[in-house]
Each structure stands twice: as C-alpha cells, then as structure tokens.
Amino acid sequence: MDLDFSTCKLDVVRRRAPHHIRSRSYSCECQPNRKRASNQKGRRMLTSLANPCAADMASPWKPPWLPNVEVAGTAQMPVLTSSLITQRVQNMQAFTKPAAPDLRASTLLHGFVADHKLRRLVRDPGRYLTLAAEHLAVVTPDLSIRDGMPPHERFHSAWLNRAVGAFFQSRGLQVIPSVRWSTETDLEVMLDGLPCQSAVVLSVQSMVRDFRALQTLSRGIPILLERLAPKQVFLYGQAPEGIAKKLHRVAEVFQFPTDARKAFQKQSS
C-alpha cells in the first residue's frame, strides 16, 4: 500500500472545557519539493556548528547599546584600549553627583556608588554620554563583586563593567577600567581584555575596617601588577601604606578621597 505523505494534517480537539478555552487545530504541510531545501538548511546548520564564525553568534543577553567589539577570554570580556592620563587630575566624582561644569575637564567621572544607582547607567549609558564627555576620563562602573556571590554573577558584574567602558570608548571618550575581585582566582577572568602598561583604578573605600577585604586586595595586587604592569594606578580612598608601597614599585600612584569622606570634611569645616 502506498502512503501519500505529500500533505498531512493533525487535528487536536480538546474535550469539554470552559468557554474561555477553545478547541485548537494544528496542521503541518509536508511537501516533497521542500526536502532539498530542508537538507540544505541542515547542512548550513552543521557548518555553523563546526565553524562558529559562519553563524550569528550574538548572545541574546547582549545589551542593545553595546557595539561590536573585540572580546577576550572564556567570559568574552570586551577589550579596552590603552589609556594614560597626561593631564593633572584634580578630583574623582560620581556620575550621580557630578562636579561643577568648570571643574569637569580635570575630573575623573566614576561609578563607585550603590548597585541600584548603577542600574540606570548599565541600562542606558547613552543617556550619560554628554555628561561623560565633559570630564577628563570615565572610570568603569564598580558593580558589586562579593564572596557570597556565585562565580557567574561576579563575572557578569565584571563583564558589565567592561561593556560600559567599551561603549564610552566607542564614542571617543577616554576610559580607565576599575578592577575588583573577591578571590585571587577571580583575576584569571577579571583581567581578561584589559590593556597592559596603561591606567587602572582600584577602590579601597570601606576597607580600612575590613581586614579580610584588605587581605584579598593585598594578595591580588601582585597578580594584577604581573599581568598588566600598569603605569598609572588611581586609588579611590585612602590605601594602607603596605598596599601603596606595592603599587609604587611599578606605577605612578594617585590617591583621592571618597565622596563620603569629602562630604564629611565639608560638614566638619
């Protein structure tokens, strides 16, 4: 008996159900002349799997504002180009409370603020493009990276940090990456895509009373210095003397008070 598979229809009818659930009919049309096209499509899919460059490998999680940039490492960290500050830096100021317009040309615009404030920047960095362009350079946002966070969340925070920096660099702005880690092993991923012999920013705010955090920072600095050999290190907050000495052996070190410290000093005066 010859079976004709040129056209097959499948009807699915639900039993008695409430009035808002209606019977549905599903059909599929299978025609012989589509067999060749299906085989060609299958071969294209196999080719794409064998050669990822042949397919559109864009992640569904990629922010719409992120341009096509070079990436590095297993976490595909966006690559930042080298950046050295040749002009004297007078201040570091948060993007949530920017400096006065006449001071911005000598100020680094930073993102060492609470995560809920950083969400606005991460969702749409373009809204801050004009503000950022008025400053000497932009420091990449410091999203939380803590011990209690699973590795994929820590790496995602670092990835967003780098992606925002890549966005501003693609618009012609000078960008300095801020680096944070919770364990030394994090640095195997966190440092991917960062330029060598360039400038970096480290935050030491709130670490004076946190001995464990200071230990983590101190143990990670030699790894950072070995891999990146930075020429300039900007410290946000007052670093202990031992940490500052480690950095001074390799790079120029510039320390700036935190916004909280400046506000306290202003109130005290």
Q: Which two tokens stand for residue 149?
A: 């966070």
Average pLDDT value over all residues in the chain: 82
CA dist., res. 97 & res. 50, Å (int): 50
Q: What is the pLDDT of residues 154-167, one digit of tens each?
A: 999 999 999 999 99
Backbone angles phi, psi at 206, to 5 degrees: 70, 5
Provide the pLDDT confidence category of residue 208 given band limits of 50, 70 and 90: low
Examine the pLDDT at 35 and tell me if it is beyond 90.
Answer: no
Helix (H, G, I), strand (E, B) or coil at 190: helix
Q: What's the confidence (pLDDT) of residue 37? A: 45
Fold of 73-268: TIM Barrel (3.20.20)
With beta carbons less than 8 A apart as the criterion, state whether 109 and 131 touch: yes
Element (H or E) spanning 137, and its range?
strand 137-139
Place of tokens 């200071």: 214
230, 228, 268: which is closest to 248 by C-alpha?
230
Where are the chain's structural domains? 8-52, 73-268
Helix, strand, coil proportions of the chain in percent (round to 5)? 40, 15, 45
Q: Which residue has the higher pLDDT, 8 or 215?
A: 215
Examine the pLDDT at 54 and tell me if it is beyond 80.
Answer: no
pTM for the full model? 0.77
For 156-190, the DSSP string reads HHHHHHHHHHHHHHHTT--EE-B---SSGGGHHHH
Examine the pLDDT at 6 and tell me if it is beyond 90.
Answer: no
